[in-house]
Amino acid sequence: MSSQHDDGHSRERILAAATRLFAERGYDATSTRAIGEAVGLNIATVAYHVGAKPELYRAVMRRAHLAQREAVTAALRRLDACAPTPGGTRAGLLGFVDSYLAFCLDHPEVPALWMRRWLAEGGELAEIETEFAGPLVTEVAAAVRAVLDRAGLGAGADVELLVFTIVWTAHSFAQAGVIDPDGRRRGPRDLPTFDRFRRHLHAVVTGVLDRED
């Protein structure tokens, strides 16, 4: 086995462990030592493969962003291909919502990482929002606006806030589910809870499109 292969394998193991720990504990509460211990490596070896903690965190967030961008880009292509009618566009946008929700359920570490940042974890690394989150939200909002305008829908809608609303709610639901009247947490894998949430999110999106200002 080549040294280069060993290096690549070690880096992947480190990134996987770092992703899990940053998602579970946040940036501030996760040490390089803890990441190294999770994969059986010392701090010096971790630093050799991925750099210091800020570089490791950037690498983790970059991988999360690329996975998110890939899913969103595919969903936007499907949205752009929808029929340019009010009905077709509503269905296309709800399909986009479902695609993003499915991504959050399939990759729970991604919403967890971003929610940690919403709590000001790793706040000194503000370039992560500048490089990743900001441009992607702008791109999605512009694409959604173009599709809505094409169909004559949502003239008064704040599309950027609509995109954020989808992100906030999908991330939160994917992590926490809902609390039922008995105080029990119903997670996103509980099908009746998932269906209820999905219908509600659809109603929110449709309501924004049909609102008359």
| pLDDT per position as a tens digit, 110-120 | 999 999 988 87
What is the average pLDDT across 102-124? 90
- Residue 141 Cα distances to 76, 93, 121, 161, angstroms: 10, 12, 26, 9
Strand, coil or helix: what is 104?
helix
Rg (CA), the chain: 20
For residue 86, give the 3-state DSSP assignment: helix
Residues 88, 94, 100, CA angle at the centre, nearest 5°?
A: 135
pLDDT, greater one: 47 or 92: 92
3-class DSSP state for residue 194? Answer: helix
Specify the pTM: 0.90
Under DSSP, the state recorded for 51 is -
**Residue whose pair of structure tokens reads 């509980």 in the numeric block:** 190
Q: Is the pLDDT higher at 61 or at 126?
A: 61
Residue 196 three-state SS: helix
User: What is the tens place of the pLDDT at every residue in 53-62?
Assistant: 999 999 999 9
Whether the CB-CB separation of 208 and 154 falls below 8 Å is answered with yes
Q: Which domains can be identified in the chain, with CATH numbers?
A: 1-51 (1.10.10.60), 61-210 (1.10.357.10)
The percentage of residues in the chain with a pLDDT greater than 90, rounded to a whole number, is 82
Contact (CB, 8 A) for 174 and 108 = yes
The chain-wide mean pLDDT, for the chain, equals 92
> pLDDT by residue (tens digit) across 132-177?
999 999 999 999 999 999 999 999 899 999 999 999 999 999 999 9
* Cβ count near 15 (within 10 Å): 19
Q: Are 175 and 108 in contact (CB under 8 A)?
A: yes
